[in-house]
Amino acid sequence: MKCTTISIAPATRPSSARSRDFSCVILDRNGRLIVAPPMFFHAPVYRHLVGRILELYGGLADGSRIKDGDVFVSNHPYAGGLPHVSDMAFVAPVYAGR
Amino acid sequence: MPAGELVAFSGTIAHKADVGARVAGSTSANATEMFQEGLLLPAIKIVDGARRADRYRAHHPRQQPTAGPGWRRHPRPDRSDADGRGASPELCSRFGAATVTDAFAAILKGAADELRAAIAKLPEGEASAEGLLDSDGVVLDQPIKLAVTVAIKEWGRELRLLEQRSAGPRPGQPAPVDGGSLRVLLAHRLPRPEPAFQRRHARRGAAHLRAAHGRPTPRRPHPVSNYQMVNLKLVDVILEALAHFHPARAIANAGSSSALTIAWAKGRPGQSNMQYEIMGSAYGGGMGHDGASATATHLSNLHITPIEILESEFPLPHHALRPGAGFRRRRPVARRTEPRARIRAARGRDRHSPLRQEPFSTQGRRRGQGRARRALRDQARHRAGICDAVIGPLRAERRASASCCRAREAAAAASRRRATAPHSTAISPRDISRPRRRRKEYGR
């Protein structure tokens, strides 16, 4: 909710400020939704995208190239699973004790 | 769980008004492949650690306090939220990472149990439904059949999509549909569970969709616009099949949608420079009650812009639902916009334009591709009745006699007419969506 509020506040585009065509979520370490997005069709996207990121960057095992402070982006409907090109997704890992 | 271990992800998705497509608004009804719809980013790391994140913030205009009126009205978010990680690190420090991950697991299990209970309330059996797509986005006027059979067996354990196949110009090719979207949309229409029930990914653990013939996976070169069309229709077909199990939650057919994009050549201070809308109708309709007359389609804006906001930006003397809209009639919303100043409007070609043709891809032009494109274009023109063979020698004669000088004279005459025209000019939806003229200037 806080992230959603912060996203709305500075938005000047009608698609975000008025239509609210965006979502903010929390996912577990495998990309499963813990907090559901208000835009319900965004729900499967995150799982697909995080799964793809884990696959590309070494997953959860040792030697993974995912580290604290990383931010991933995608709007690719096939490679990232986004609904369409206009939807830009950002994903960041959360680490314990950081 | 040791410190420093990955416990969660935070994510956000936002619809950008324009990502550099061939048309304003990026989502072109005429796109025949997604490369025409703008910049494409696969899953890449845009910030490599906090160090680059700081540099990114320093150069990003959105992070400047004077970037826009919104920043003057609202305080700047704190650093942790600007990182996009939300409150999860704070929860880990307060309760421990193991507690947080255990809570995540409990949340997911609870949602899955609720969904299993909801499925268990449905009667056992099978139901089928069919639907037709107008086209596959490349070859026009050749509908594609979507056939779906939904079976509910093994109470509370599985909800199986037995069949999903396309037939028509490309028989056997899987429909370009994301199965994940279908799972969520399907779960959305199941019997209402407890109020606390939320749509979480745990539902996927309880409801499985399986296609007996091929995996419902998006595949090139299907355009994204068509991908959405397929999603709209296929979800309709699935929900129609599901209505047999739960008639009280049956819905009206979603019909179709229309899109309108208005962009300003010169920016307006403090205002957005583009308005993009996708509208549908009949959503929420069911047995004994009508649906919404004009709203956004799913896979576009879920929360439609209220008409009052549209009126404040764009005077709309007329905005109404067309009779019969929502039941397979295209362009369900009729509206007329009156600009406040003289404008020049470039009308995008309608998706049913006979001039639509398959473009080049990033693979480059292949041998014989131009000939194939011309053949497709000529076929479409012939079907639409505007090819030379149909119109006859008159049109060919006009085209042959049109010299560059005559074209310049016509353009100059049109410019003189515009200069003497009144400022207020009405654009009707019919003008915007008429397919046979490629470009028209308004303002006589």
CB contact under 8 A, B53 and A83: no
CB contact under 8 A, A79 and B42: yes
Count CB-CB contacts under 10 A for residue B182: 22
| Whether B62 contacts A16, CB under 8 Å | no
Answer whether residue B353 is part of any domain: no
CB contact under 8 A, A96 and B296: no
Q: Could you say which of A33, A67, A88 has the minimum Cβ distance to residue B200?
A: A33
CB contact under 8 A, B10 and A94: yes
DSSP B56: H
A with B: how many residue pairs have Cβ under 8 Å apart?
317
The Cα B170–Cα B168 span in angstroms is 5
* B97: chain A residues, CB-CB within 8 Å: 96-97
Same domain, B91 and B117: no
Alpha-carbon gap: A33 to the closest alpha carbon of chain B (Å): 5
Provide the pLDDT for residue B184: 41
Q: What is the residue-wise DSSP string for B262-273?
A: EE-SSPPTTS-S
Domain count, chain B: 2
Q: What is the dihedral of CA B94, B97, B98, B101, to 10 degrees?
A: 110
The Cα B112–Cα A34 span in angstroms is 12
Q: What is the residue-wise DSSP string for B332-377?
A: -EEEEB--SS-----PPPPTT-TT------TT-PPTTHHHHHHHHH
Answer whether residue B425 is part of any domain: no
Exposed e or buried b for every residue in B227-264, given b needs 16+ CB within 10 A?
Answer: bbbbbbbbbbbbbbbbbbbbeebbbbbbbbbbbbbbee
Same domain, B81 and B206: no
Same domain, B132 and B210: yes
Provide the pLDDT for residue B327: 45
Instruction: Read off the tokens for B98.
Output: 């193991």
| Identity at B251, one-letter amino acid code | I
- A92 pLDDT band (50/70/90 cuts)? very high
Domain boundaries, given as residue ranges, for chain A: 2-91
Provide the pLDDT for residue B41: 86
Alpha-carbon gap: B343 to the closest alpha carbon of chain A (Å): 22
The Cα B240–Cα B59 span in angstroms is 51
Q: Which residues contact B126 (CB under 8 A, 6 or more apart)?
A: B149, B150, B151, B152, B162
Given B198, B220, B247, the domain boundary residue is: B247
Answer whether residue B384 is part of any domain: no
Whether the pLDDT of residue A89 is over 90: the answer is yes
User: Which residue, among B1, B7, B10, would best test binding to A if mutated, counting the most A CBs under 10 Å from its CB?
Assistant: B10
CB contact under 8 A, A97 and B34: no
Q: Does A51 touch chain B (CB under 8 A)?
A: no
Each residue of A35-72: pLDDT tens digit? 878 776 777 788 888 988 998 888 777 778 888 888 99
* B206: chain A residues, CB-CB within 8 Å: none
Answer whether residue B165 is part of any domain: yes
The Cα B20–Cα B224 span in angstroms is 15
Provide the pLDDT for residue A8: 64
SS3 A22: strand
| Identity at A25, one-letter amino acid code | V
Answer whether residue B232 is part of any domain: yes
Same domain, B109 and B243: yes
Whether the pLDDT of residue A91 is over 90: the answer is yes
| Whether B380 contacts B357, CB under 8 Å | yes
Answer whether residue B408 is part of any domain: no
CB contact under 8 A, A60 and B6: yes
Domain that holds residue B142: 105-247
The Cα A14–Cα A22 span in angstroms is 11
Q: Which residues contact B167 (CB under 8 A, 6 or more apart)?
A: B144, B145, B147
Instruction: Read off the tokens for B139.
Output: 């070859």
Provide the pLDDT for residue B9: 92
| Whether B350 contacts B380, CB under 8 Å | no
Given B247, B267, B283, the domain boundary residue is: B247
Of A76, A75, A86, A41, residue with least CA distance to B259: A86
Per-residue pLDDT of chain B (444 residues; tens, 9 = 90+): 556 788 899 999 988 777 877 666 666 655 656 677 788 888 888 888 765 444 444 433 343 333 333 333 333 444 444 444 555 666 777 778 888 889 888 988 887 777 777 777 778 777 877 777 666 555 556 666 677 777 776 544 444 443 333 333 333 333 434 444 444 444 444 444 333 333 333 344 444 444 433 333 334 434 444 455 666 677 777 778 888 888 877 766 655 455 566 666 666 666 656 666 666 555 566 666 666 655 554 444 433 445 555 555 555 566 665 655 444 444 556 666 666 566 666 555 444 444 444 444 434 445 555 565 566 556 666 655 555 554 445 444 555 554 445 555 666 676 666 565 544 333 444 444 444 444 444 433
In angstroms, what CA-CA distances link B168 with B136, B139, B162, B173, B227?
Answer: 9, 10, 20, 9, 16
Whether the pLDDT of residue A90 is over 90: the answer is yes
CB contact under 8 A, B85 and A94: yes
The Cα B21–Cα B216 span in angstroms is 27
Instruction: Read off the tokens for B339.
Output: 């600009």
Same domain, B66 and B163: no
Q: Does A80 touch chain B (CB under 8 A)?
A: yes
Same domain, B81 and B109: no
SS3 B315: coil
Instruction: Read off the tokens for B391.
Output: 């119109």
The mean predicted confidence, pLDDT, of chain A is 79
What ipTM, to 2 d.p.? 0.92
Alpha-carbon gap: B262 to the closest alpha carbon of chain A (Å): 12
Answer whether residue B37 is part of any domain: no
Given B247, B269, B298, the domain boundary residue is: B247
Tokens 């999903």, located at residue: B164
Same domain, B135 and B193: yes
* A32: chain B residues, CB-CB within 8 Å: 104, 108, 200-202
Alpha-carbon gap: A63 to the closest alpha carbon of chain B (Å): 13
The Cα B242–Cα B240 span in angstroms is 5
User: Average pLDDT for residues A68-85, to the nearest whole number?
Assistant: 84
